[in-house]
Amino acid sequence: MSELFDAVDALLASRATLPPPVERKRLRAAHGLTIDEVATALKVRRATVSGWESGKTEPRPPERDAYARLLDKLAELYPADPPAPAQDAAVPAAFTAAPAPAAEAQPLSPGPASDAADTTAHENTQTSPAPVAAAPTAAPRPARTARTSSTSRRPGAKQAAPAGTLASKTDPRFENGPLAVVDVEDGQVLAYCTGGLVLDVPAKSLPALVDWTLREAKLGQPKLSGPGKDADPLLVLTEAALERYGLPTTLTEEERLAGRLPEGHKVIKQLARAEWKLTKRGFGPWARIYRPAQGSERACVQLCIPSWQALDSRHWGGAGQLPPADLARVLGVYASRVMTPRGSTAVTGLELMTALHPPTRASAPDADGQRHSEHNPGSLGKDPVDPAPCEAPDGHPLLKNLPRFPVRGPAEKLCEEAYDWARPMTDAECTLRHLVGIDVNMAFAAGANGLVVGLGAPTQVKAPVFDPKLPGSWLVDLSHVDLSKVKVGKGKWAELDACLLPSPFTPTGARPEGPAWYATPTVAYAVELGYEVRPLEAWVRYENGRYLDGWYQRLRDAYLATMADLGVHADLEPADFLAAMDGYRERDPQLALVVSAIKATVKGGLGKLRERPRGEGWRPGEPWRALSRPTWRPDIRAAVISRTRINLHRKIVKHAAFTGDYPVAILSDCVVYAADGTSPLDFLPYRDGKPLPGGFKLGLNPGLVKHEGTQTVLWGEEVRERFNAPELNLARYIKDGTVTGQDNGE
pLDDT in tens, 502-546: 999 999 999 999 999 999 999 999 999 999 999 999 999 999 999
For residue 83, what pLDDT is reported? 52
User: What CATH fold (topology level) applies to the domain 2-77?
Assistant: 434 Repressor (Amino-terminal Domain) (1.10.260)
Residue ranges of domains in the chain: 2-77, 167-342, 389-417+450-545
468: closest CA among 633, 642, 609, 634? 642
| pLDDT score, position 61 | 79
pLDDT at 317 over 80: yes
pLDDT digits (tens, 9 = 90+) for 532-591: 999 999 999 999 999 999 999 999 999 999 999 999 999 999 999 999 999 999 999 999
CA nearest 538: which of 458, 612, 429, 624? 458
Q: How confident is the model at residue 328 (pLDDT cuts 50, 70, 90)?
A: very high
| Angle (nearest 5°) at CA 263 between 257 and 268 | 115
Residue range 160-180: average pLDDT? 66
Q: What is the mean pLDDT of residues 662-666?
A: 98
pLDDT tier for residue 744 given thresholds of 50, 70 and 90: very low
How far is C-alpha 420 from the geometric centre of its chain's CA atoms? 22
What percent of the chain stands above pLDDT 90? 67
Cα torsion through 561, 563, 565, 568, rounded to 10: -120
Res 633: pLDDT: 98
Q: 554 in helix, strand or coil?
A: helix
Separation of alpha carbons 206 and 235, rounded Å: 11
Q: What pLDDT does residue 110 have?
A: 37
CA 18-22-24 angle, to 5 degrees, is 45
Q: Give the residue-averaged pLDDT of 395-402.
A: 89
Instruction: State yes or no: pLDDT of 247 exceeds 50.
Output: yes
Q: What pLDDT sits at residue 153?
A: 42
pLDDT (average), residues 30-34? 82
The lowest-confidence range among 190-194, 407-411, 564-568 is 407-411
Mean pLDDT of the chain: 86
Dist CA 50 CA 40 (whole Å) = 13
Write the burial class of residue 616 (CB in 10 Å: 0-12 exposed, 13-18 middle, 19+ buried). Answer: exposed
Give the C-alpha separation, 647 to 664, whole Å. 18
pLDDT in tens, 683-692: 999 987 789 9
- Rounded to whole angstroms, the Cα distance separating 217 from 175 reads 9
Q: CA nearest 247: which of 271, 281, 275, 223?
A: 271
The model carries a pTM of 0.80
Q: Where are the alpha helices (DSSP H) in 285-323?
A: 313-316
Q: For 196-223, how does the pLDDT look when each residue is reduced to its tens digit (9 = 90+)?
A: 999 999 999 999 999 999 999 999 999 9
**CA 318/CA 340 separation, integer angstroms:** 19
pLDDT value at 90 more than 80: no
Query: What's the pLDDT score for residue 206?
Result: 97
pLDDT band at 746 (very low <50, low <70, confident <90, very high): very low
Residue 668 has pLDDT above 50, yes or no: yes
* pLDDT of amino acid 599: 98
Ramachandran region, residue 136 (left: φ > 0; alpha: ψ -120 to 50; beta: rest): beta
Instruction: For residue 113, name the pLDDT band (cuts at 50, 70, 90).
Output: very low
Letter for the amino acid at 122?
H
